[in-house]
Amino acid sequence: MTSREQHDRMANAIRFLSMDAVEKANSGHPGLPMGCADIATVLFTRFLKYDPKAPHWADRDRFILSAGHGSMLLYSLLHLTGYEDMTIDQIKHFRQLGSKTAGHPEYGHATGIETTTGPLGQGLANSVGFALGERIMNAAFGNDLVDHYTYVLAGDGCLMEGVSQEAIALAGHLKLNKLIVFWDNNNISIDGPVSLADNTDQVARFQASGWNASHIDGTDSEAIAYAIEAARHSDKPTMIACKTTIGFGAPTKAGTNKAHGSPLGPDEIAGARKFFNWDSPPFEIPADILDAWRTAGKAGVKARTDWEGRLAKADPKLKAEFERRTSGKLPANFDSVIADYKKKLSADKPKVATRKSSEMALEVINGAVPETIGGSADLTGSNNTKTSQTKNITPDDYGQRYVHYGIREHGMAAAINGLTLHGGLIAYGGTFMCFSDYARPSMRLASLMGIRSIFVMTHDSIGLGEDGPTHQPVEHMAALRAIPNHNVFRPADAVETAECWQIALESEKTPSTLALTRQNLPTVRTEFTEKNLSSQGAYELAAASGEAAVTIFATGSEVEIALGARDLLEKHGHPTRVVSVPCFELFDKQSDAYRKKTIGDAPIKMAIEAGIRQGWDHLIGSDGIFIGMTGFGASGTIEQLYPHFGITAEAAAKAAEARLQGR
Ligand SMILES: Cc1ncc(C[n+]2csc(CCOP(=O)(O)OP(=O)(O)O)c2C)c(N)n1
């Protein structure tokens, strides 16, 4: 049992590492680590199940620093508890180029960082996915293999962000009782006191969303321990409102916004050294305190080795499946399942919307890949995200595979990231493409983290018809393509849809968005190919009858229009080829030779996509012809809208011919 004095000195080690690292970097946020050091010390020395020597241990408790600006709190903990890659040198190089100690915690930089945080609210919203993932994996593999908590430290900023409401409502609804959130209740944000902008009774708010919530003194180690103990035995998620002081110990800046986000300066730091009676120089931890921390960091070894013993003794099939799923590898027969399915599609030639093609592909995928977890933000029937295998996950049955996320696109995307990061699961969720804007902050983070989150975005153009311009994406393809490391797919038919799903599932380090139509489309890939042609990003779908005068590039629903335009142009004696472009990002990754060959050297290059032109010039050149949208859409039938906006085979052929004649 740690004495109060020992606890205090251990907490002070966090405080000094943090304030000294910020000082050396001449940038960063000392206030949060200084205020929350007691909470972190109690958690990491008395409750958290972890082993720094086995940081990827599947059944570890997760700790998520949602208030990512307080990154030095996490880095200090990782160093003190003995994570090998978090050396004192890394701490000294806080925020420097090439260090693991980035300004905000970044997933993949150092072990022990469970998710990237910094955009406030994201970590809290991810944690719903982590906690749900734990319950789903527990239902699949039992208490012996999966039984852990998800702890979160969130600040005022996290709780003010809208996504937090989506997250806490979902967690409360799903009764994720192993989710425990500490709120750093310090009444300070950047502009000053929180009361400048907010007077919410946070405890009442969480309680109203189905949580346990109570106030404690966030510097009282016994109160913290008592609250955690109670939370661990609760049948609801728990929020512990911890009264703290930002920059605790800094003589004049404590309790003020001056301690939030800039170095404290030598005088304040000297004052803090006096206040805490801490005479070690910067980056030196007294040997007995470092020892105590390292001992705490070893406390989980027994739990980890016991767990390994249970895994070794588990039924061999269960063990193999657990290991496969947590390694992120797909079942061995996955590729052949998709190839067989593609063969069938090329023979059947269905004429269905790609959202329906997606459902058909998912029916096959969900049958072969038991770790997929589907969902939708209240548009299940429109997004076609549910299949025969995916029944509803409820608080009484986590052993199912479908999440009704409610009308919470942002919360859904963040939870998908959390499910993905938890491990053992492949999560996808749907909404209307236009509302990808509502999910975008989490989609961007999926890309930054390099994880396999999958976003299903249906109703991908004016083709959705009468719902009108509020619902018609126009700039969304361009906007999503602008996110680095994000595969944005717009498949043209059922075969391409199956191929795009295959790539999405196989892309372990890149999230995917599938842009899917509401309107029916013919099968254009009528000849079976074993090879996944969509994986090249773009490929020649129809060759010209002679030396090509025109190349038409198109995506999704406009591939049919491109083929129609080709027919007209060929009839008029202009050899024309059509290139289907299901994914810009993947095409950009092809060899120069392949790109050159696919773009070709036809004198007229044209692109057809029912969205804005932005991004297309790199295929058609700035003098290429673009058939698409130049502004918002309109309400009307699909039969009216395409001609109204000039997106037809006739209009495309006419534009090409006009250009040919002008030559
Ligand atoms: C989405 C988002 N908006 C704005 C910011 C910039 N920002 C960083 S910290 C912060 C204030 C947070 O206040 P609080 O959570 O109370 O943290 P504390 O001051 O207690 O450290 C803001 C606005 C951000 N990181 N993320």
pTM for the model stands at 0.98
Q: In 3-state terms, what secondary structure has residue 310?
A: helix
Token output for 602: 């036809």
Residues in the chain: 663
pLDDT score for 391: 98
Of all atoms in ligand 1, which is nearest to the CA of residue 160? 15
Q: What is the Å distance from ligand 1's center to 393 Cα?
A: 33
Q: Are the C-beta atoms of 454 and 416 separated by less than 8 Å?
A: yes
Of all atoms in ligand 1, which is nearest to the CA of residue 184? 20
Q: What is the Å distance from ligand 1's center to 158 Cα?
A: 7
The one-letter amino acid at 269: I
Residues with Cβ within 8 Å of 302's Cβ and at least 6 positions away in sequence, in order, are none
Of all atoms in ligand 1, which is nearest to the CA of residue 158? 15
Pocket perturbation via mutation, ligand 1, pick of 19, 120, 200, 444 by most ligand atoms within 8 A of CB: 120
Of all atoms in ligand 1, which is nearest to the CA of residue 194? 16
Please identify every stretch of the chain with a pLDDT value under 70, giving residue numbers as ranges: 1
Q: What is the Å distance from ligand 1's center to 157 Cα?
A: 5
Q: Are the C-beta atoms of 129 and 163 separated by less than 8 Å?
A: no
Of all atoms in ligand 1, which is nearest to the CA of residue 441? 1
What one-character-per-residue DSSP string does 461-522 give? Answer: SGGG-TT-TTT--SSHHHHHHTSTT-EEE--SSHHHHHHHHHHHHH-TTS-EEEEE-SSEE-
How many angstroms separate the first and last alpha carbons of the chain?
Answer: 87
Q: Whose CA is nearest to atom 9 of ligand 1?
A: 69
Per residue in 569-596, is it b (16+ CB within 10 Å) or e — as a string? bbeeebbbbbbbbbbbbbbeebeeeebe
Q: What is the Å distance from ligand 1's center to 70 Cα?
A: 10
Which of 464, 556, 484, 472 is closest to 514 using CA atoms? 556
* Burial of 231 from C-beta contacts in 10 A (0-12 / 13-18 / 19+): buried
Q: CA-CA distance, 96 to 496, in Å (whole number)? A: 44
Q: What is the Å distance from ligand 1's center to 399 Cα?
A: 37
Q: What is the Å distance from ligand 1's center to 272 Cα?
A: 24
Backbone angles phi, psi at 514, to 5 degrees: -105, 120
Residues with Cβ within 8 Å of 77's Cβ and at least 6 positions away in sequence, in order, are 14, 40, 44, 112
Of all atoms in ligand 1, which is nearest to the CA of residue 29? 21
Q: CA-CA distance, 206 to 240, in Å (whole number)? A: 10
Q: Whose CA is nearest to atom 26 of ligand 1?
A: 119
Q: In 3-state terms, what secondary structure has residue 64?
A: strand
Q: CA-CA distance, 483 to 633, in Å (whole number)? A: 24
The CA–CA distances, whole Å, from 631 to 18, 472, 490, 613, 627 equal 50, 11, 20, 10, 13
Q: Which residue has the tokens 């992120």?
A: 328
Q: CA-CA distance, 345 to 339, in Å (whole number)? A: 10
Q: What is the Å distance from ligand 1's center to 189 Cα?
A: 6
**Do the strands 604-608 and 550-554 form a parallel or antiparallel pair, or are they unpaired?**
parallel
Residues with Cβ within 8 Å of 477's Cβ and at least 6 positions away in sequence, in order, are 460, 488, 490, 515, 555, 609, 611, 612, 615
pLDDT score for 490: 98
Q: CA-CA distance, 413 to 455, in Å (whole number)? A: 8
Of all atoms in ligand 1, which is nearest to the CA of residue 161? 1
Residues with Cβ within 8 Å of 537's Cβ and at least 6 positions away in sequence, in order, are 581, 582, 583, 584, 585, 586, 587, 588, 589, 590
pLDDT tens-digit series, residues 583-637: 999 999 999 999 999 999 999 999 999 999 999 999 999 999 999 999 999 999 9
Q: Which residue has the tokens 């690292």?
A: 21
Pocket perturbation via mutation, ligand 1, pick of 153, 189, 198 by most ligand atoms within 8 A of CB: 189
| DSSP H or E stretch at residue 241 | strand 238-243
Average pLDDT value for the chain:
98
Reply yes or no on whether 23 is catalytic.
no
Q: Whose CA is nearest to atom 21 of ligand 1?
A: 32
Q: What is the Å distance from ligand 1's center to 69 Cα?
A: 7
Q: Are the C-beta atoms of 128 and 411 separated by less than 8 Å?
A: yes
Q: In 3-state terms, what secondary structure has residue 63?
A: strand
What one-character-per-residue DSSP string does 331-396 give? Answer: PTTHHHHHHHHHHHHHHH---EEHHHHHHHHHHHHHHH-TTEEEEESS-HHHHT---TT-PBPBTT
Q: Are the C-beta atoms of 587 and 571 separated by less than 8 Å?
A: no
Q: What is the Å distance from ligand 1's center to 515 Cα?
A: 33
pLDDT tens-digit series, residues 314-328: 999 999 999 999 999
pLDDT score for 662: 83
Of all atoms in ligand 1, which is nearest to the CA of residue 118? 25
Ligand 1: residues whose CB is within 6 Å?
29, 31-32, 67, 69, 118-120, 155-158, 161, 184, 186, 188-190, 246, 260
Pocket perturbation via mutation, ligand 1, pick of 69, 161, 245 by most ligand atoms within 8 A of CB: 69
pLDDT score for 132: 99
* Burial of 1 from C-beta contacts in 10 A (0-12 / 13-18 / 19+): exposed
pLDDT score for 437: 98
pLDDT score for 42: 98
Q: What is the Å distance from ligand 1's center to 120 Cα?
A: 6
Of all atoms in ligand 1, which is nearest to the CA of residue 157? 15
Looking at residue 281, the DSSP 8-state letter turns out to be P
Q: What is the Å distance from ligand 1's center to 62 Cα?
A: 22
Q: Are the C-beta atoms of 578 and 549 separated by less than 8 Å?
A: no
Q: In 3-state terms, what secondary structure has residue 182?
A: strand
DSSP-assigned beta bridge partners for residue 576: 550
As a 3-state breakdown, the chain gives helix, strand, coil percent values, each rounded to 5, of 45, 15, 40
Q: What is the Å distance from ligand 1's center to 121 Cα?
A: 9
pLDDT score for 621: 97
Catalytic residue from among 409, 499, 570, 585: 409
pLDDT tens-digit series, residues 129-150: 999 999 999 999 999 999 999 9
Q: Is the dihedral of CA 621, 625, 626, 630 positive or negative?
A: positive
